Amino acid sequence: MKVLIVDDEPPARGRLIRMLEAMDDCEPIGEAGNGIEAVELAQQLHPDVVLMDIRMPGMDGLEAARHLSQMEEPPAIVFTTAYSEHALEAFDTYAVGYLVKPIRQQKLEESIAKARKLTQAQLAYFRQDDENPQGRSHICARVRGNLELIPVDDVVYFQADQKYITVRHLGGEVLIEDALKNLEEEFKDKLLRIHRNALINKNYLVGMEKSREARFLVTFREVPDQLEISRRHVAEIRKFLKSR
């Protein structure tokens, strides 16, 4: 079993490595200090199991587990944390095991054994589409077979087109499968709806202008794009711009 260890504290990672090395057929193959590093390393190393701390800087373990579940062959996630109040939320976010620190050798072996028996059908059960109530820090997109993480703060707008949504961000654009309604609710403090098919990031909105065809358009900083505002949202956008 190839195991990736994710914890923001090096001593905790070192202890888990020693515990894993004492087990038969377990190989610690890498270490990560936060959720972003975990997603990147998991794609490179293809672990069978990820031992994941929950509270970490940058991206916590709950969000990282959600992104890892979108891999073509997702690893089994076992959370390792000192905060037992996260137990229910952890199991709702694709975990197959939950260990409270200080971790005991026997409990670790039991969790690894459970992960070893996990079937793809069971993994599919844990890959639920429940949205993160705290709001993600990153949007995850599949690009040429790999997962790409885009910071939510870098997203300029979301625009729907049938079953896909274009995510326009500072580095380009990607496609994701989601619903604008879900994104609007999850990031309600960051986004404004300008059209039934578009949400924009408030922080990149510069102004509003009228086209030759008498359509209202929003303009952005950082990117040259313009998006149409439906008439029902014109007053709301105008009011927001005046309030800044």
CATH of residue 95: 3.40.50.2300
pTM over 0.85: no
Q: The domain containing residue 42 runs over which residues?
A: 2-126
Q: Are 114 and 20 in a shared domain?
A: yes
pLDDT at 202 over 70: yes
Q: Is residue 88 part of a domain?
A: yes
Q: Which of 6-15, 95-104, 106-115, 211-220 shows the highest mean pLDDT?
A: 6-15
pLDDT of 73 = 85
Q: Which of these, 56, 129, 63, lies nearest to 90 by C-alpha position?
A: 63
The secondary element (H helix, E strand) that includes residue 89 is: helix 87-92
Q: What is the dihedral of CA 225, 229, 235, 239, to 10 degrees?
A: -20
Q: Are 37 and 112 in a shared domain?
A: yes
Query: What are the residues facing 216 on neighbouring strands?
Result: 210, 229
d(CA 240, CA 54): 37
pLDDT of 127 = 47
The CATH number covering residue 226 comes to: 2.40.50.1020
Q: Is residue 54 part of a domain?
A: yes
Please state the domain count of the chain: 2
29-49: average pLDDT: 96
State pLDDT tens for residues 87-134: 656 555 567 778 889 999 999 999 888 887 764 444 554 444 444 445
Mean pLDDT across the chain: 88
Q: Are 168 and 113 in a shared domain?
A: no
Q: Are 56 and 122 in a shared domain?
A: yes
Burial class (CB in 10 A: 0-12, 13-18, 19+), 187: middle
